Amino acid sequence: MATGGYLPERIMTNAELASMVDTTDEWIQTRTGIKKRHIAAENETTADMAEQAARNAIAAADIDVNSIDFIILATSTPDLIYPSTACLLQNRLGIHNGCAAFDIQAVCSGFVYALSIADKYIKSGSAKRALIIGADTNSKILDWTDRSTCVVFGDGAGAVILQANDEPGIYSTHLHADGAYADLLQVPSGVSNRKGEPFIKMRGNEVFKIAVKTLSDIVKETLDANGLTKNDIDWLVPHQANIRIIAATAKKLELSMDKVVLTVAEHGNTSAGSIPLALDSAVRAGDIKRGQTLLLEAFGGGFTWGSALIKY
């Protein structure tokens, strides 16, 4: 596995947000752990960010792009209704081998969903080398007058190259969804229904409580499925939504926060970009090392949630 990431150049601090809505740096840091986030330029799109992250992962893997035979891009903020952002990316990268390329939408769990699909294709022998990207331009679907959402999100993209190997890389993935909770977190406008506002609406406190419970459960499910205990985990790589949700999951695992990859302070919640960006930052910092066991976990709109147990 090789990783890449990309964050837009522009950084928005909590102080800047406090000049836009009725909030404070202290409230944002205490409630979320976020200090700043990156915001895409006016003309910068999800495909732009995905391309940079993908190029960084391809460079890290040191591979010919045309050896990639499967592309999945997780996003809730595609450039176009169609073609998919994955197809746009395939062309930009100069991949002309006819490999499958498609987007998937599972909001903040999107990257784990994409990883799971790619893993199944590789394990079945249908693909040998996959490019998996999580990318979201949340700033384009934020109501910048709504303090309950605009302080939480940021923009960014992360990518991994996953390839067939005799040694197990991904031990297991676990995906779940429950559409009964659609009202708690949604962008209530789409293509066949344009009645609602095209902005993120979140009943944060209710989402928070369910996220903590659900993530604790999926961590247990993942360890049990592999006959492992918390002591076997070198790093928890959680979705970076809120430091308090992450800390609650780590506590449940009785895992020291030293073993948790944290980027929420610098990135905010980048939705599908969050886990691959966190993974990439820890790999590049030299914290995550070859052979270590990683537990990835995500929770997002849908609700969707998922996990992956990986030997890096």
Give least dist CB 308 to ligand ACO, A.
17
> 269 by DSSP, 3-state: which?
strand
Q: What angle do CA 114, 120, 121 make, to 5 degrees?
A: 90
Q: Do 234 and 311 form a contact (C-beta atoms < 8 A)?
A: no
- Is 108 assigned a catalytic role? yes
According to DSSP, the residues that pair with 133 across neighbouring strands are 73, 159
Binding status of residue 283 toward ligand ACO by CB under 6 A: no
Binding mask 112-151 for ligand ACO (x = CB under 6 A): -----------------------------------xx--x
According to DSSP, the residues that pair with 306 across neighbouring strands are 175, 298
Binding status of residue 108 toward ligand ACO by CB under 6 A: yes
Binding mask 52-81 for ligand ACO (x = CB under 6 A): ------------------------------
- The values of phi and psi at residue 276, to 5°, are -65, -30
Binding status of residue 19 toward ligand ACO by CB under 6 A: no
- For ligand ACO, the binding residues in 153-212 under the rule CB under 6 A are 185, 204-205, 207-208, 211
Give least dist CB 311 to ligand ACO, A.
27
Give least dist CB 62 to ligand ACO, A.
34
Part of the chain binding ligand ACO (CB under 6 A), chosen from 50-58, 125-133, 224-232, 295-303: 295-303
Q: Which of 3, 4, 5, 32 binds ligand ACO (CB under 6 A)?
A: 32
Residue 69 CA, chain-centre distance (Å), reads 22
Q: Which of 52, 90, 242, 270 binds ligand ACO (CB under 6 A)?
A: 242
Nearer of residues 113 and 121 to ligand ACO, judged by Cβ:
113
**Number of residues located near ligand ACO, criterion CB under 6 A:** 24
Q: Do 72 and 114 form a contact (C-beta atoms < 8 A)?
A: yes
Distances, alpha carbon 102 to alpha carbons 210, 273, 275, in Å? 30, 16, 19
Nearer of residues 108 and 260 to ligand ACO, judged by Cβ:
108
Q: What distance in Å separates the CA atoms of residue 78 and residue 47, rounded to the nearest whole number? A: 8
Q: Do 241 and 248 form a contact (C-beta atoms < 8 A)?
A: no
Among 63, 91, 88, 58, smallest CA distance to 73 is for 88
> 238 by DSSP, 3-state: which?
strand
**DSSP state for residue 62 in the 8-state scheme:** T
- Token pair for 79: 């450039």
- Token pair for 116: 């799971």
Q: Which of 3, 271, 281, 307 binds ligand ACO (CB under 6 A)?
A: 271
Active-site residue, selected from the candidate residues 87, 108, 138, 150: 108
- Is 239 assigned a catalytic role? yes
Interacting residues with ligand ACO (CB under 6 A): 23, 27, 31-32, 107-108, 147-148, 151-152, 185, 204-205, 207-208, 211, 241-242, 245, 269, 271, 299-301
Residues annotated as part of the active site: 108, 239, 269
